[in-house]
Amino acid sequence: MAELVFADPSERDDLGAFVARAVRLDQQGVVRLRNRGDDRVEAWAATPFDVLATRSVAGSVTPADVAVAGSELLAGLAILRGDRVDPGASRDLMWRSALPPADGWKQVDNLPVTVMTELADQGVAVARENAGPHGTPPASLLDQTVLTVSGSGLDVKIPLRCLFALSGMGFLGAGDEGGNVRVTATDAWLRIDARFGAVVRRRYALLPLLV
């Protein structure tokens, strides 16, 4: 049976807030929990914007890498108020996304939270005007570049879908609290770290395998 152990009750509450937002975006989604190696647990969730969201908390999980239903994990975090939680049965087969590497990240830029929030709000307004029959914006809109940042020899394009994920997961906070978000990248991945979590996405689409 899987077990999640927290170093402090506040860490459980932080993870609970992350999982609650992930479940709000996708009620059938799964959350992947992994020991990071520095006495912290990484939680990963795939968002409807084809962007991964992640947050780490102090603690450990057994087994060291397991995917569980977001709704079951949320229920466990809400009901059991101790430092040990049963995150639910393994749903490893339901996890479809590749995770980025732990190493090789380069600092690209720091951007004001207020700028990111304003761009996200503008993107939401445009998306509403161009929503499809199911109320979702077209992929062509989500893939539009809203910012290009440079640093450490890299030019990194930030698509609108990353800002949607930051906003949808509540990572930007109220948006008027100041501070910066950090943009890092590898040759293949983009990561944006905000106050309450980070979003991660491949910088380039994978090429299909030729048969």
**Segment 85-102, tens digit of pLDDT:** 999 999 999 999 999 999
Q: Determine the residue type at 186.
A: T
Cis peptide leading into 63, omega within 30 of 0?
yes
Residues 18, 27: Cα–Cα separation, whole Å: 13
DSSP secondary structure letter of residue 130 = T
Per-residue pLDDT, 133: 61
Please, where are the H alpha helices in the chain?
9-25, 70-79, 113-129, 139-142, 160-168
- Mean of per-residue pLDDT scores for the chain: 91
The answer to whether the CB of 41 falls within 8 A of the CB of 4 is: yes
Any idea which of 14-23, 24-33, 126-135, 183-192 has the lowest mean pLDDT?
Answer: 126-135
Q: Say yes or no: domain 3-94 is CATH 3.10.20.30.
A: no
pLDDT digits (tens, 9 = 90+) for 11-69: 999 999 999 999 999 999 999 999 998 899 999 999 999 999 999 999 999 999 999 99
Instruction: Residue 90: count other Cβ atoms within 10 Å of its Cβ.
Output: 16
Instruction: Residue 9: count other Cβ atoms within 10 Å of its Cβ.
Output: 11
Say whether pLDDT at 136 is over 90.
no
Per-residue pLDDT, 79: 85
Helix (H) or strand (E) holding 59, with range, is strand 52-62
Per-residue pLDDT, 30: 97
Per-residue pLDDT, 81: 73
Per-residue pLDDT, 175: 58
Per-residue pLDDT, 129: 81
Please state the pTM of the whole predicted model.
0.92
Where do the structural domains in the chain lie, given as residue ranges?
A: 3-94, 106-202
Please list, in sequence order, all residues whose beta carbon lies within 8 angstroms of the beta carbon of residue 143, skipping any fewer than 6 positions away.
159, 160, 161
What average pLDDT score do residues 101-127 get? 92
Answer with the residue of higher pLDDT: 123 or 137: 123
> Which tokens in the block code for residue 139?
């992929």
